[in-house]
DNA sequence: GTATAACCGAGACGGTACGTCCGGTCTTCCA
DNA sequence: TGGAAGACCGGACGTACCGTCTCGGTTATAC
């Protein structure tokens, strides 16, 4: 899905002077997303994003310290939309549904590529690792722990592991198979879930 | 462990003219390893390897199509030494020991960083993904499947999943926690193992 | 002589709303002058002037088409103060004194650096050349020609060249030596003067 | 006179490996010269030179510390060809001829623009000033002094000034008029010459 | 009195060029 | 023929300014 860089349908809302240009912000996020999905992380350069978004390089550097932060912005927005951690549920089905959504996200949703790319980049770059944890993995894990805690308290699930380990026992195989290009069928998610969080 | 780039103790055995220079090959492998461990993948450039190894760039390009293949060479050598897949055993303890070794390798052995870096780089680059599977993950998985198959046949272990899924159920969390900087205590490995491969 | 950019002793007289802010105008001229003298023309950017003057870039662009015009403004003001072309005299001493003043200005007066910089910039940029001639060199030369003409008419000086050539015969070496970093001692001015405008 | 960047008549002599590529060197010098003459110093950027010469920027930076040194290289070569300081003559006519050649060079020869541009740039940049003196003005002035000294010793010319001042008295007006866009007719050169170096 | 218009500081924006780094190719010369 | 050396073209990096623009606020003049 390529967006035309120059001419937009509504001719780019008059720039807002002193304030940040929301159109430019969105153009950058979309360009980064598109480029990652279509050409991969290796081709994802700041110059390419600027070109694709029809934006000056300086505009990118003004607002993001690195391309990783751009991807994090899109990831945070997208994953909230596509597989939010349920904030209220505590039923087995609700929790299992969450992990199914996780598997779907990282294996089939284009936005899931962003997460895999960031986990990868975190291996190459400590600052990426820190940002990824501080802005994405950490907060999300917090919600996941709360979800599980509610489920346990409600007697819907149980585990012999600590919460983090239990989550990793399900999420780990999902992510690992996504990273190695293997599929993650729903039945596998369910088996992993039942193996560690049996009622 | 830094190696001196230029001057070696014994002034580099007279070059062998016609045949491949084994000293150069080793110097490249060690330089790549050192640089990865000390400065990370991001700083691991062909030029840096050549500099560190005291070798011409052309010599590297002559023998390796990319830096990824260099790392694969070191990874294959190292992981065979440090945690080979047992080719004969089929006892529970033998299999469990293998997974314990896996966890130790990726979380505590410097050579384990190479594996994590290659899994990461495979996300950025399809050719890396192919090489990593063809030369490392694939063959290794073959041996792991055989190991498990022997264990099952001997009645030492059992699983309701197919062999690959069962292995991923144990290896996945280990690798995922290594990738995200979490520890992988022996007790966790054992719990994962017991969860999916109970006798 | 550095001026404080931000906070002035008397907190910048309340802005004059509708009318041009004289304080801003002076701040720009002084900033340009200071920056040229202290850091050279290469560092004299519109942004630096704005920064140093505590003024918005737009305020500069509103009143001056380029930094060259700013320098011309300061040059015209300064050189009128420091070595005005005598409008009345016609004695040998008066005329000789003018050329001595010229030499002093371009070799020892900081404001003289502005003239040299503008002559230089005129080589790089035709618009600068035009402005420099129209606003400075032309009018000034007009006065110099008149000065000489009065001297000749009064029998105080004489030359075999046309007026412009005679002036250039004296001014040329002065400026050339200033441009090449050589000194221009008073005795040299006198010798040049006597050589072309002997009584 | 634009040179085609890509396809040359003789298809760019096979690059010479370890040694400096003479074709690239010449392409850079010519490109710089062409761009200066056609578009002026302001448009003379390293990127434009690289583009025009069909050369990588790094190749320029490898051999020249700045574009000024490129121009100095062309200036030194060109001015040796177009108006060398006579190394043997000492006759009045020989010396006068030299100054006539000087005037022709700076007012009518495209290569003369390079000298004017460098004198100009020297006002903006102390390093340019140093290079211009060390590599061009200084050595050349040495030869000019020797030329005059021979003329004086032979009784062909004489002056009351020191040698440098005498040369500046002739060269100064020539250069100043060139800088200000005025013409320098042969008669004016002769008059300047006769005024300071009368026999 | 209030509206209008021009001023001002601030700073975001699309661009261009900077000087550096590395990729991957090529050629020379030596052993 | 292999290897050290390093020049070459290409392209991305992150930074500095360019000149244009709009914002929000102030103040003098016009209605």
Domain boundaries, chain B: 1-64, 70-196
Please give the average per-residue pLDDT across D154-161, as a whole number. 94
Domain B70-196 listed as CATH 2.30.40.10: no
* Helices C163-179, D110-124: crossing angle, 10 deg rounding: 60
Report the nucleotide nearest the CA of residue A65, measured to C1': F14
Asked if D164's CB is within 8 angstroms of C195's CB, the reply is: no
Give chain A's mean pLDDT.
91
**pLDDT, tens only, B90-107:** 899 999 999 999 999 999
Confidence of residue C6 (pLDDT cuts 50, 70, 90): very low
Residue (of C75, C129, C115, C105) closest to C184 by Cα position: C105
From A13-22, B71-80, C131-140, D59-68, the region with the lowest mean pLDDT: A13-22
Please give the average per-residue pLDDT across A97-116, as a whole number. 97
Instruction: Give the right CATH number for C68-196 from 1.20.1250.20, 1.10.357.10, 2.40.30.10, 1.10.600.10.
Output: 1.10.357.10
Strand F atom within 7 Å of A124 CB: no
Report the nucleotide nearest the CA of residue B58, measured to C1': F3
Which chain D residues 33-72 have CB under 7 A to strand F?
54-59, 62-63
Confidence of residue B199 (pLDDT cuts 50, 70, 90): low
Instruction: Give the right CATH number for B1-64 from 2.60.120.380, 1.10.10.10, 1.10.10.60, 3.30.870.10.
Output: 1.10.10.60
Q: Which residues of C touch D169 (CB under 8 A)?
A: 169, 173, 191-192, 195
Q: What is the 3-state secondary structure (H, E, C) of chain A?
A: CCCCCCCCCCCCCCCCCCCCCHHHHHHHHHHHHHHHHHHCHHHCCHHHHHHHHCCCHHHHHHHCCCHHHHHHHHHHHHHHHHHCCCCCCCCHHHHHHHHHHHHHHHHHCHHHHHHHHHHHHHHHCHHHHHHHHHHHHHHHHHHHHHHHHHHHHCCCCCCCCCHHHHHHHHHHHHHHHHHCCCCCCHHHHHHHHHHHCCC
Q: Which residues of C touch D176 (CB under 8 A)?
A: 168, 171-173, 175-176
Please give the average per-residue pLDDT across A53-59, as a whole number. 97
Nearest to B119 among A133, A172, A179 (CB): A179
Confidence of residue C89 (pLDDT cuts 50, 70, 90): confident
For residue B193, is pLDDT > 80? yes
Domains C1-64 and C68-196 share a fold: no
C168/chain D closest Cα distance in angstroms = 6
**Residue C95 to residue A126: CA distance in whole angstroms:** 74
What phi and psi, each to the nearest 5 degrees, are found at residue D15? -65, 150
Give chain D's mean pLDDT.
91
Q: Measure the N-to-C terminal CA separation of chain B; round to a whole number of Å.
A: 43
Q: Using beta carbons and an 8 Å cutoff, which residues of B are at the interface with A?
A: 40-42, 116-117, 119-126, 129, 133, 137, 160-161, 164-165, 168-169, 171-177, 179-182, 188, 191-192, 195-196
Q: Which residues of D touch C182 (CB under 8 A)?
A: 164, 168
pLDDT for position C18: 81
Asked if D175's CB is within 8 angstroms of C174's CB, the reply is: no
Please give the average per-residue pLDDT across B117-123, as a whole number. 97
pLDDT for position B184: 98
Which chain C residues 10-29 have CB under 7 A to strand F?
14-19
Please give the average per-residue pLDDT across B113-133, as a whole number. 96
Give the nearest chain B residue to A196 (CA atoms).
B195
Asked if A40's CB is within 8 angstroms of B119's CB, the reply is: no
D180/chain C closest Cα distance in angstroms = 8
- Which chain F nucleotides are covered by protein, judged by CB under 7 A? 1-29
Instruction: Classify D173 in phi/psi space as left (phi over 0), alpha (psi -120 to 50) or beta.
Output: alpha
Q: Which residues of D touch C119 (CB under 8 A)?
A: 120, 123, 179-180
pLDDT for position D172: 98
For residue C56, is pLDDT > 60? yes
Class of domain D67-196: mainly alpha
Cα A59 from chain centre: 24
Q: Which residues of D touch C124 (CB under 8 A)?
A: 40-42, 117, 120-121
- Which chain E nucleotides are covered by protein, judged by CB under 7 A? 5-29, 31
Nearest to A161 among B129, B176, B191 (CB): B191
Give the nearest chain D residue to C115 (CA atoms).
D123
Structure tokens given for C157? 């000086």
**pLDDT, tens only, A125-180:** 999 999 999 999 999 999 999 999 999 999 999 999 999 999 999 999 999 999 99
**Residue B14 to residue B33: CA distance in whole angstroms:** 25
Contact call for residues B144 and A187 (beta carbons, < 8 A): no
Give chain C's mean pLDDT.
91
Structure tokens given for D189? 């050169």
For residue A3, is pLDDT > 50? no
- Output the distance from C152 CA to F20 C1' rounded to whole Å: 54
Asked if B196's CB is within 8 angstroms of A133's CB, the reply is: no
Structure tokens given for D25? 């060197």
Asked if B40's CB is within 8 angstroms of A126's CB, the reply is: yes
């Amino acid at each position: 899905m390529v967006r035309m860089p120059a001419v937009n349908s509504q001719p780019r809302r008059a720039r807002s002077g002193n304030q940040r240009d929301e159109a430019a912000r969105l153009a950058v996020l979309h360009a980064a997303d598109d480029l990652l999905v279509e050409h991969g992380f290796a081709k994802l350069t700041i110059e390419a994003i600027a070109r694709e978004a029809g934006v000056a390089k300086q505009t990118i550097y003004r607002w993001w310290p690195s391309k990783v932060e751009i991807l994090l912005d899109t990831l945070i927005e997208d994953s909230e939309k596509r597989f939010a951690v349920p904030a209220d549920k505590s039923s087995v089905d609700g929790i299992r549904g969450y992990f199914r959504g996780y598997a779907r996200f990282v294996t089939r949703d284009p936005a899931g590529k962003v997460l895999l790319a960031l986990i990868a980049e975190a291996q190459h770059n400590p600052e990426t690792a820190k940002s990824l944890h501080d802005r994405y993995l950490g907060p999300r894990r917090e919600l996941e722990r709360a979800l599980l805690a509610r489920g346990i308290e409600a007697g819907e699930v149980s585990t012999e592991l600590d919460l983090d380990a239990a989550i990793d026992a399900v999420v780990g195989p999902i992510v690992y198979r996504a990273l190695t290009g293997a599929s993650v069928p729903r039945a596998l998610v369910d088996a992993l879930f039942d193996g560690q969080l049996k009622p």
